[in-house]
Amino acid sequence: MILKRNSLFVLLISLLFWTCTFISLDAVAEKLVQDKIQYHTNLWSRLQNGFALGLPPDNKIINRIGTSYSQNPESFNRIVANSEPYLFYIVEELERRGMPMEIALIPVIESTYNPLIKSNSQTAGLWQFQPETGRILGLVQNVWHDDRRDIIASTQAALDYLQYLYRKFDNWKLAIAAYNLGEGAVSRALSRNSHKGRPGNFYDLNLPIDAKHYVYKLLAVKDIILNSKKYGVKIRPIANRPYFDQIKIHEPIDISLVTRLANISEVEFNALNPAYNRYVIKVSDAAPRTLLLPKTNKEIFLKNLETYQDPRVSWQIYRVRKSESINEIADRHLTTVKQLKTINGIARHKNVTLGQKILVPHVVVENQADNAARKKKQLQNFQSSVYVVKKGDTLYEIAKRYGTTVDQIKSWNDSDENLSIGQKLVILRG
């Protein structure tokens, strides 16, 4: 009995010790992060500090690829500019996981750090996932959003996948090659080398030239960052601080409303939240969505959202009925065919089909007489004015000036983004 009590006492002491240790380790880890932020004012120096992959024995190919980048410094710095909203988050995640910082350069090769880039091979997002690969990694793809383009979700999936590949091949260059080529192809190449009694390192492996070139390009970009003067490239600095904050959204909300409440442009919103396919952020009780906003705009959004009393959603999903035309749907929902096609990505010469799901204005009027009456009543509640487009005008600036939205102006005028000098726009004001 004494032995048992002593054992229990030792166990409790051990648990207390380890609990204190974990707490202290967490505190130390947090301090290390803060120290890194304070020590490195430029994020690129923090990135350099975490580089871990060696260059090949013969650097000629690296110099050749690096020179090809340096011959177009404007293009390279455009990639650097693209990376600015995302790079701090990725660097933090790589440090937290203990992964080589070269991995932060993969989106340079994959997408030029443009999460909205379109590919003929159906890949999407910063990390360019195929649809099937995305699904395997848990990235949801539906009519509302594509998580392959989600900054947080896709980055977590990419780093998870790369860690898995590293555990399998025990080599980061092979893991990166497998990320590009597929783990099966790398495994087969290793097996062939093993049967021939040849080494299994990256440089001795007989991989397709594109896969090897993929890794060489990554190392070349790293070399440019380390030795920018050698390549004659002046890399613009990026502040070593978070660019965005994360906000959990538990109710559906129009994207146009988010931009208005956060006081940001649609361009800014799409850069941080490129996953959304529709004008509404769809939310379920079981799956809240994460919204990214610039750090300077987070509190503005939360404060405005707290006091906002009107409906947060003005769009809904509508299923096309039998023999129903898009003209009928537009008329019933008090909108235009052009607006419906624009919002739903329907080509001009295409029509809707039976059972097709499209986004329509939330208010529905079934009866044509009621429809006309509703339109008349709406117009009576508004004063109209005509704005003549001047040189340099944009729809966003005009909408902001009149306290409305770009979509509303498009709807009132049955127009698109292209403006011409002298064009007359009808503006309705309450």
Token digits of residue 64: 């050749």
Assess whether 110 carries a catalytic annotation. yes
Q: What is the CA radius of gyration of the chain?
A: 27
- Report how far residue 93's alpha carbon sits from residue 388's, in angstroms, rounded to the nearest whole number: 50
Choosing from 110, 268, 328, 417, the catalytic residue is 110
Task: Taking the CA atoms of 178, 182, 185 and 190 in sequence, report the sign of the dihedral they define.
Answer: positive
- Report how far residue 116's alpha carbon sits from residue 118's, in angstroms, rounded to the nearest whole number: 6
Cβ count near 55 (within 10 Å) = 15
Single-letter amino acid, residue 85: P
CA nearest neighbour of 129 among 105, 108, 152, 155: 155
Single-letter amino acid, residue 45: S
Q: Are 84 and 275 in contact (CB under 8 A)?
A: no
Q: Are 261 and 275 in contact (CB under 8 A)?
A: no
- H or E element in which residue 96 lies: helix 73-97
Cα angle 248, 41, 23; round to 5? 55
Q: Where are the alpha helices (DSSP H) in 172-322?
A: 172-181, 183-195, 209-226, 228-231, 255-262, 266-272, 295-307
Catalytic residues: 110
